[in-house]
Amino acid sequence: MEILAILLCLLAGIMVFLRSYTTWRDRDQATIIIADPAIAHRALIVNADDFSNRPAAIFPVFIASLRDGERNDNMTTVKYGPRWRALRCNLAAGILHPSRLASVAPLQQEAAKTLVDGLSSRCEEAAVRIRGPVTNAAFALSARLCFGDAVDANLRRAMGQVTRDSMVVIGELGPRFDGSMMSKLVNWRGLNRISALLDRQAELYRPQIAEARRQSQSFHPRLCGGVVPPYVDSLVALRVPDDDGDDDAPNGDGRRPLRETEVVGLLFEFLGAGTGSVVACVEWTLAHLVDQPDVQSKLHHEIIHAEGSGKSLRSMPYMNAVVLESLRMHPPVPFTLDKKTWTDPDEYRPERFLPLGEAEHVGPTPGQKEIRMMPFGAGHRHCPGVGMGMMLIKCFLATLVREFEWAPSAQGRSGGIDMTELDGFLKMMKTPLSASVTRRR
């Protein structure tokens, strides 16, 4: 009984400490929720410079320091300043520049064809889970853009697995982690798993980084599919401002090459964000197309008519409206916008983005006058891959709807499509979509 009493006292003491610590922590690091779209616009667009260096989330910054004890920032965690601009410009002016979209289109179409070939053999199944095939196709393209054409299937699968595992663990642990010693003790299993995954990433990426450095000595730069240089090559060649006061900058010019651990972090960011947001949007859109056959029929008609007329994805207004409506309802990054800005906000209604609709002039990034939605962020630090991401989402959807008819599976017919959201690294369907897939003739 005495031992039990002692244990209860210890437990009570821990509870009091945790409650006191939580109160102190919350007072020191308050979360500001902006409910007014006009105020959000002033903060993120009008006064973008003032808020571009807003404090980063504790967990990603902690992860950036795990690799070798130094800060190994990617574009998400780096402070707003010269180094952020160098990293951002390298990506936005290189592989993700709008002028590259037409060049990358054939690579996206190859990925879509691979996706169709994989699904064609599964049409006889009672229910097909789409998340896996779409993830594999999207990741294969991201890996190709990241490392070039030399990455074989086995290495790509290993990279894909460690990327998915990392995103799952970060999504599960991130909201519970506050950087304190108590949090590290409580979440030690998850932190050990993340540390092991970071080591595995470095193990897989290190030979690719070494090859990029070797290739940088030649006079014949590599091209993915003969059109764009791999992202890793640009990172190896990049020199960033030495604004941390270390001694790595050569010749005293204030700029230095990226450390290997920094390159690893940037590669993971590219692979994870570039794949996850595309997969989430494609799955959510297909779920709504299964749930609303009339929307699917309209979209199929537009795709057939546009392709028969030789038009591109840019000339499909209903496709654009369908994708935007999915992004409005299920933005990849978990956050909530004021529903008062929309008519019937919980209804999936692509027509709101068509001419004369309430959101006729609304796009995937906020405009200069208002914020109605921001699925890829806002201000200076919005996602630089929004153009390529939108193009790949439309490419996948156009191919999947043209080649297949999507209907509820036997289980879906009885209970409907489960649209419950799961907020983790990205906003995904809690129950992965299972559908009946029939090849169109």
- Report the pLDDT value the prediction gives residue 301, as an integer from 0 to 100: 95
- Percent of the chain at pLDDT > 70 equals 78
**Alpha carbon distances (Å) from 412 to 212, 287, 305, 409, 428:** 48, 11, 30, 5, 18
**Alpha carbon distances (Å) from 227 to 108, 114, 118, 218:** 12, 19, 26, 18
- CB atoms under 10 Å from CB of 38, counted, come to 12
Question: How many whole angstroms separate alpha carbon 111 and alpha carbon 117?
Answer: 10
Tokens of 282: 């494609």
Predicted structure pTM score: 0.85
3-state helix, strand, coil in the chain (%, to 5): 60, 5, 35
pLDDT value at 415 more than 70: no
Token pair 């200076």: residue: 380
Instruction: Give residue-wise pLDDT tens across range 51-92.
Output: 666 555 555 666 666 566 677 788 888 888 899 899 999 988
- Report the pLDDT value the prediction gives residue 24, as an integer from 0 to 100: 36
Strand 427-429 with 421-423, pairing = antiparallel
**Per-domain residue ranges for the chain?**
55-439
* Range name among 32-36, 287-291, 332-336 with the lowest pLDDT average: 32-36
- Report the pLDDT value the prediction gives residue 244, as an integer from 0 to 100: 53
55-439 has CATH 1.10.630.10 classification: yes
Instruction: Give residue-wise pLDDT tens across range 253-275.
Output: 688 999 999 999 999 999 998 89
pLDDT value at 50 more than 50: yes
In this predicted model, which residue has the larger pLDDT, 372 or 406? 406
- Report the pLDDT value the prediction gives residue 31, as an integer from 0 to 100: 52
- pLDDT bucket at 192, cuts 50 / 70 / 90: confident
Instruction: Give residue-wise pLDDT tens across range 149-168.
Output: 888 999 999 999 999 998 88
Tokens of 261: 């651990």
* Residue 427, beta-bridge partner list: 423
Measuring CA to CA, which residue among 205, 215, 221 is closest to residue 259? 205
Mean per-residue pLDDT, 375-394: 85
- Report the pLDDT value the prediction gives residue 110, as an integer from 0 to 100: 93
Mean per-residue pLDDT, 98-120: 90
Instruction: Give residue-wise pLDDT tens across range 308-365.
Output: 777 788 889 999 999 999 999 999 876 666 777 899 999 999 999 999 999 999 988 8
